[in-house]
Structure 1
Amino acid sequence: IVVKQELTPGDLAFVDSHHDFFPELVLIPSQRRLYPQNGMMAHVIGYTGQVSEKELDSPEYAKYNQGDIVGKFGIERQYNDWLTGVNGQRQVVVDNRGQVRQTLATKPAIPGKDLQLTIDLDLQTVAELALEGKQGAVVALDPRTGEVLAMASRPTFDANKFSVRIKPKDWKEILDNPESPMMNRAIQAQQAPGSTFKPFTALAALESGAIDDQFTVHCSGGISLYGKYQKCWVPKGHGTLALHNGIVHSCDVYFYTIGSKAGIDNLAFYGNMAGFGQPTGIDLPNENTGIMPSTAWKLRTQRTKWYAGETPSVAIGQGALTVTPLQLARAIGGLAIGGVWHHPHLLKALDQTDQPVTWPLNPQDVKDIIDGMYGVVNEGGTGGRARLPYVEVCGKTGSAQLASNDFLKGTAAGHAKDMRDNAWFEGYAPRSAPEIAVVALFEHGVHGQFAAPIVRDVMAAYFDKKRRLAAFQQVEASNAARLAAMAGLGLPDKQGPGGVPPDSGGRGQGPGANTAERSAATVDAAIMETSAPASKQVQQPPKSSHPQPPTPSAQPPSSRPQPPAPNPQPLSSRPPN
């Protein structure tokens, strides 16, 4: 039975001086977890605490005893069994006063395993700083593997307060905080994605055959669909545009139209394929799934039919559609690499038995969407603030309404502040062979352009670090080649001041100068031959290197699940009352 934890020096002195009176008291040293300060990575790492009575009643905790420390949240909870280890044992003989007289057997404790995470500390630091003072989340991952490179959520909490037993005052402060600091917004915030969903609306319309890339729509600031006038975010309109400029300028009227032509079930089919409306499988507890609406979903959850007039809102990322930042990062990363969606994970050495989700998307359709997202950042689109000078960034802004403008006009200013639009930005780079996908959610940030710099800064940290590592490796390779060449020529590897060979007299003059110059030229030639970098070509891995999902790959093409036919209903029709 644990009598007291966190003993003071006075407590220790008392137990030591009264040992003869209380021989049953045993001091057991224990290590306390120390977590990063300021709540950094708190939602990822999590925290530990004493096993509760409720947990002790569960078979999962059968091996634990009262007072044992277990993982309660985050990675600490997910990999609790790996991190805990096995308790040691000691069998002793004691007298009637509890004094140990003989040790019969000893079994040493086995420490828990160490875990290596996929998190890049440099990127994580940038993401945390970018969210300072904000409410939202940032997720960065490698779309080629699913490795999560950064995951930040704000506001956060101090995990050190949970290390032993959190004080009631601190716990009440957390519970009373309306900003929910314990929520990991990266995997639990279910929000409308706004215009960041438009690339997937385009995918559904293209792949289903509802449109081609030359399909045009005239935007005059709004359009009447199904008896309702739907506004564009630009009141004066965008004029006539096709798919490319529809994406670049994020024209609502364009996406109202093509989303309605595709129909809600096509939007749901390709949305589900990209991972919306279902867990990503991240190795963290308590992930939320979001909602990918469809006719079947509405019938199941609301017991009523889907009306065509509801589809335009979903097409621009509003309505019943909700996603998490992690879902969006995985979805856009998988689309960027051609239709391969890896399961995100935080454990570096994770032996994934789940194969990535693959789908034979039309390469031209994918290219059309990628070109549009490139234009968003680099061709005067809505995401110019995410641009980087040394790498081609593709992205998409999103401003998700939490309430209608009419509602906000009649709402007190204090409440209206909490109902301001959420700002989103999704991006990936490089354009031709994506290595990183980043999503930022800035709650109540109003415009996606305000979330774009967050993504830009995380990407800049990634590529700056990559360039520094490449430069360091090049110097190392050059030095190794120089030493090898000098050794092959029988030259000493020592140099005089300023890198001049000692026998050159310090200025390349005097006895032996010509010989030294000829030798140096020979060495340089050898270095050029040895260390000249070979030309590199960025290639997509062969299709055979991507494991196919069990169900689709086991079926002939004709038996694959087929998307529904595009919506045949005319756009001007009115939903039944």
Structure 2
Amino acid sequence: MFDPNHFAIRIGRADWEKLINDPNKPLLNKAIQAQLAPGSTFKIIMATAGWQEGIAQKLHVYCNGSANFYGRNAKCWVYFLHQSHGEVDLTKAIYQSCDVFFYTLADKLGIGRIAKYATAFGLGQKTGIDLPDEASGVMPSEEWKLRNFRQRWFPGETISVGIGQGAVVVTPVQLIRAIAAISMDGRMVVPHVVNPTNLPSGYVEVSRYSDVKNIPVDPNGWNLITDAMSRVLLPEGTAPSAHIIGVDIAGKTGSAQVVSLATRAKHAHDEALAQNGWFVGFTPRRNPDIIVCTLFEGGEHGKLAARIATQVIKAFVDKQRRQPTKLARKDHNAVEMGALWTSPDGDEDGDGERLNGARFQFDLSTPALPLATAAPGLN
């Protein structure tokens, strides 16, 4: 941390040297320039990719704390607590953050399909935010490794990517944009910095900017993934201490390694080797009004980052509840709404109901038809 007022006058050499040599890099705009492993927050992108490919919804694994892939034993985070997750499906894998499930999913998807979806959701590229010197991050692929290292990609490398480790690195703004898109049924926007003092009194801005990309997301997957994310803050999830009573918050924790888990276990008291804590949370669980990303460098656990993020969300919700808010629409003659509904057509197995989802735009410029006050032909 530093006081920016020091730059209002000529800063002394000693103060400048202290700033540029600080290992915490206080002069780095970490929201758009910090490039770090996303850890388990990446599992939401993995879950979406797996669902779209028809794999994740059918996948069931048994987690006994570790699993073998390509001659190596890949451990789940609960292994170091002498625990296991037992039988795991996609829902449980999300709210309990089971590494073994996502190792398996990554192996079935392969790096090509993982990179395809991660890139579609904006990883490995600048978001376009109106701030200078934004970093691009890295989304690895076979082509990326060949281009940068002149080496072929090995299948074993895909396993670590499946839990947001390995070569994948993101900026906080990339991560929040990607997960926001998933929470909004595939609607991905370009982030912008807006000064709220420029808005009319009593209004908040909605979609002033039109640069929107729509990524296909199956409504059944959207429903299941966001519901599972809401359980992250419940007693069975990874961040129950961040739960806010009366607020529907969904999110995902992440604890990103800076060294291997085995090395970290051997040097448990070395703060320099502490994991980075991540949390991305939003309310409500679908089509949210607010989404917050917290990066707690050296925070060790994503649940600690979650406690910070949910307090920000709570402050927003409390403020919204205290004052009536009008929405300023981009188009005063139209309003867009998202909807979920079931149809009796049956699912792929020929029974049950199918969940559908879509966005609708209603033209408000057409006068509404008068309501009938009596049945036709009756007085």
Smaller-chain TM-score range? 0.7 to 0.9
Aligned partner (choices 220, 226, 237) of residue 64 of structure 2: 220
2:266 aligned with 1:421: no
Correspondent of 1:356 among 205, 212, 215? 212
CA contact (8 A) 1:188 1:286 kept: yes
Decide which of 233, 245, 250 is 2:92's aligned counterpart: 245
Bigger Rg, structure 1 or 2: 1
| Change over 3 Å in CA distance of 1:401–1:412 after alignment to 2 | closer
Q: C-alpha distance in 2, partners of 1:457/1:367? A: 25
* 2:338 aligned counterpart, secondary structure: coil
Alpha-carbon deviation of 1:221? 1.0
**1:18 is matched with which residue?**
none
Task: Determine helix, strand or coil for the equivalent of 1:195.
Answer: helix
Q: For residue 176 of structure 1, what is the aligned residue in structure 2?
A: 21
Partner of 2:120: 273
Q: How large is the Cα RMSD of the aligned pairs? A: 2.4
C-alpha contact (below 8 Å) 2:185/2:287 kept by paired residues: no
- 1:249 positional shift: 0.8
Of 243-252 and 374-383, the range deviating more from structure 2? 374-383
Task: Report if the CA contact (8 A) 1:213-1:368 is conserved.
Answer: no
Aligned counterpart for 2:302 among listed residues 448, 455, 468: 448
SS at match of 2:323: helix
Q: Which residue of 1 aligns with 2:237?
A: 381
Q: CA deviation at 1:408?
A: 4.2
- Superposition map of 1:470-489 within 5 A: 470=324
Which SS does the other structure have where 1:182 is aligned? coil
Corresponding residue for residue 391 of structure 1: 247
Superposed counterparts of 1:26-37, under 5 Å: none
Deviation at 1:168, TM superposition (A): 2.5
Against the structure 1 CA distance between its residues 368 and 379, is the aligned structure 2 distance closer, same or farther, given a 3 Å change threshold? farther
Letter of the 2:186 counterpart: G
**Deviation larger for 212-221 or 187-196:** 212-221
Q: Which amino acid aligns with 1:281?
A: G
Matched, 1:303 2:157: no
The equivalent residue for 2:43 is: 198
| 8 Å contact from structure 1 (residues 426, 438) kept in 2 | yes
8 Å Cα contact 1:386-1:452 kept in structure 2: yes
Structure 1 residue 264 displacement after superposition: 0.7
Shift of 1:299: 0.9
> What is the DSSP-based 3-state SS (H/G/I as helix, E as strand, rest coil) of the residue aligned with 1:540?
strand
1:540 corresponds, among 338, 341, 345, to 338
Shift of 1:386: 2.5
- Determine the structure 2 residue equivalent to 1:165: 10
Task: Specify the code of the residue in structure 2 equivalent to 1:371.
Answer: D
Report deviation, 1:539: 4.2
Q: Report the CA distance between 1:330 and its aligned residue.
A: 1.0
Aligned residues: 323
Q: Distance in 1 between matches of 2:21 and 2:106?
A: 42
Q: Is the 8 A contact 1:278 1:289 kept in 2?
A: yes
Instruction: Say if 2:175 is the partner of 1:328.
Output: yes
Report what 1:234 is aligned to: 78
Secondary structure class of the residue paired with 2:263: helix
SS in 2 for 1:213: helix
Aligned to 1:556: none
**1:261: which partner in 2?**
108
The aligned amino acid for 1:372 is A
Which range is displaced more, 314-323 or 226-235? 226-235
Per-residue deviation, 1:353:
6.8
Measure the CA separation in 2 of the matches of 1:283 and 1:329: 16
Q: Which amino acid is 1:425 matched to?
A: F
Paired position in structure 1 for 2:31: 186
State the distance in 2 between where 1:432 and 1:357 align: 17
| Structure 2 alignment gaps of length 5 or more | 199-204, 327-335, 340-357, 363-379
Larger strand proportion, structure 1 or 2? 2
Q: 1:212 to 1:412 in 2, by over 3 A?
A: closer
Distance 1:404 1:215 in 2: 27
Distance 1:275 1:255 in 2: 21
Q: Which residue of 1 aligns with 2:162?
A: 315
> What is the distance in 2 between the residues matched to 1:427 and 1:181?
25
The 5 A counterparts of 1:439-518 are 439-470=293-324
Deviations 1:441-488 (A, max 9, x none): 111111111111101100001000001113x99xxxxxxxxxxxxxxx
Aligned to 1:3: none
Counterpart-to-counterpart distance in 2, 1:301 and 1:166: 40
Match of 2:331 in 1: none
Match of 1:290 in 2: 137
Distance in 1 between the 2:51 and 2:60 partners?
Answer: 13
Q: Which amino acid aligns with 1:317?
A: G
What residue in structure 1 maps to residue 348 of structure 2?
A: none
8 Å contact kept, 2:67–2:74 = yes
Q: Distance in 2 between matches of 1:412 and 1:218?
A: 28
Could you tell me whether the CA contact under 8 Å between 2:337 and 2:359 is conserved in 1? no
| Counterpart contact for 1:248–1:379, Cα < 8 Å | no
**What is the match of residue 373 of structure 2?**
none
